[in-house]
Structure 1
Amino acid sequence: MSVFIRPDTKDGVYSYDFRIRGRRFSGSTGRTTKREAKQVEAAAKEAALALIVSEASLSGPDMTVEAALARYWQEVGTHHVNADNTLRAMEWLQNHFGATTMLHSIGTSEVAVMVAKRRGEYVPSQRKPGKKYKTAEIRRRVSPATVNRTATQPLREVLLRAAKVWKVRAQEIDWGQHLLDESQERVREATPDEEDAIMQQVERGYDVALEFAFQTGCRRAEIIALVWTQVDFFNRQFTVIGKGNKARTIPMTESTFKMLWAEQGHHPEKVFTYVAKRAVKMKDGRLLCRGKRYPLTLAGFKSGSRRAIERSGVKNFRPHDARHTAATRVLRKSNLRVVQSLLGHADVKTTTKYAHAMVDDVRNALEAATTTKTTTASAPTAVNSLKR
Structure 2
Amino acid sequence: MATPKKTSNGKWHIQFMVGACRESGTFDTKSEAAIWAARRSTELRLLGRGKGGEIKTLADAFDRYTKEVSANKKGERWERIRLAAFQTPLHYPLNSNKKLNSINSSDIAAWRDARLLKVNKTSVAREMTLLSSVFEVARKEWLWVDKNPCIDVRKPPKGQHRERIITGQEIRGILRALGYQRRVTSVGCSIAHCFLLALQTGMRAGELCALKWPDISIAGARLHTSKTGAGRTVPLTPAAFKTIERMRGFDGDSIFSVSPQTLDALFRRARTRAGLEGFTFHDSRHTAATRLAQKLHVLDLCKVFGWASTTRALTYYNPNSEDLALRMSR
Q: CA deviation at 1:242?
A: 3.4
2:215 touches 2:222 (CA, 8 Å); kept in 1? yes
1:107 counterpart letter in structure 2: N
Q: 69, 82, 85: which one pairs with 1:76?
A: 69
The residue number in structure 1 matching 2:237 is: 253
Larger Rg: 1
1:250 counterpart letter in structure 2: V
The residue number in structure 2 matching 1:119 is: 116
The residue number in structure 2 matching 1:296 is: 259
Q: Relative to 1, partners in 2 of residues 1:237 and 1:302: Cα closer, same or farther, differing over 3 Å?
A: closer
Q: CA deviation at 1:91?
A: 1.0
Taking the TM superposition and a 5 Å limit, the aligned residue runs for 1:98-117 are 98-117=95-114
Taking the TM superposition and a 5 Å limit, the aligned residue runs for 1:92-171 are 92-95=85-88, 96=91, 97-121=94-118, 142-149=119-126, 151-171=127-147
Q: Which whole-Å CA distance do the structure 2 matches of 1:269 and 1:170 have between them? A: 50
Q: Which whole-Å CA distance do the structure 2 matches of 1:170 and 1:271 have between them? A: 50
Q: Relative to 1, partners in 2 of residues 1:358 and 1:117: Cα closer, same or farther, differing over 3 Å?
A: closer
2:116 counterpart letter in structure 1: R
- Helix, strand or coil at the partner of 1:189: coil
Please, which runs of 5 or more residues in structure 2 have no aligned partner?
Answer: 1-27, 50-54, 179-187
Q: Relative to 1, partners in 2 of residues 1:366 and 1:44: Cα closer, same or farther, differing over 3 Å?
A: closer
Q: Which whole-Å CA distance do the structure 1 matches of 2:153 and 2:316 have between them? A: 29
- Helix, strand or coil at the partner of 2:87: helix
Q: Percent identity?
A: 24
Taking the TM superposition and a 5 Å limit, the aligned residue runs for 1:56-67 are 59=47, 61=49, 62-67=55-60
The residue number in structure 2 matching 1:179 is: 155
Q: Which whole-Å CA distance do the structure 2 matches of 1:79 and 1:243 have between them? A: 14
1:321 counterpart letter in structure 2: D
Q: CA deviation at 1:331?
A: 0.7
1:217 touches 1:327 (CA, 8 Å); kept in 2? yes
1:318 aligns with 2:280: yes
Q: CA deviation at 1:360?
A: 5.8
Q: CA deviation at 1:145?
A: 1.0
1:332 touches 1:358 (CA, 8 Å); kept in 2? no
Q: Which whole-Å CA distance do the structure 1 matches of 2:197 and 2:111 have between them? A: 39
Q: Relative to 1, partners in 2 of residues 1:207 and 1:67: Cα closer, same or farther, differing over 3 Å?
A: same
Q: 313, 318, 321: which one pairs with 1:351?
A: 313
Q: Which whole-Å CA distance do the structure 2 matches of 1:45 and 1:316 have between them? A: 63
Please, which runs of 5 or more residues in structure 1 have no aligned partner?
Answer: 1-29, 31-39, 122-141, 274-294, 369-388
The residue number in structure 1 matching 2:300 is: 338
Q: Relative to 1, partners in 2 of residues 1:220 and 1:356: Cα closer, same or farther, differing over 3 Å?
A: closer
Q: CA deviation at 1:220?
A: 2.6
1:81 touches 1:241 (CA, 8 Å); kept in 2? no
The residue number in structure 2 matching 1:278 is: none
The residue number in structure 2 matching 1:236 is: 220
**What CA RMSD, in Å, does the superposition of the two structures yield over aligned residues?**
3.7
TM-score by length of structure 1 reads 0.61
Q: Any idea what the Cα deviations from partners look like across 1:52-71, whole Å, max 9, x if unmatched?
A: 6x959x94645332332222
Q: Which whole-Å CA distance do the structure 2 matches of 1:120 and 1:358 have between them? A: 32
Q: How many residues align structurally?
A: 285
1:152 touches 1:178 (CA, 8 Å); kept in 2? no
- Helix, strand or coil at the partner of 2:234: strand
1:211 counterpart letter in structure 2: L
1:190 touches 1:322 (CA, 8 Å); kept in 2? yes
2:62 counterpart letter in structure 1: L
1:69 counterpart letter in structure 2: F
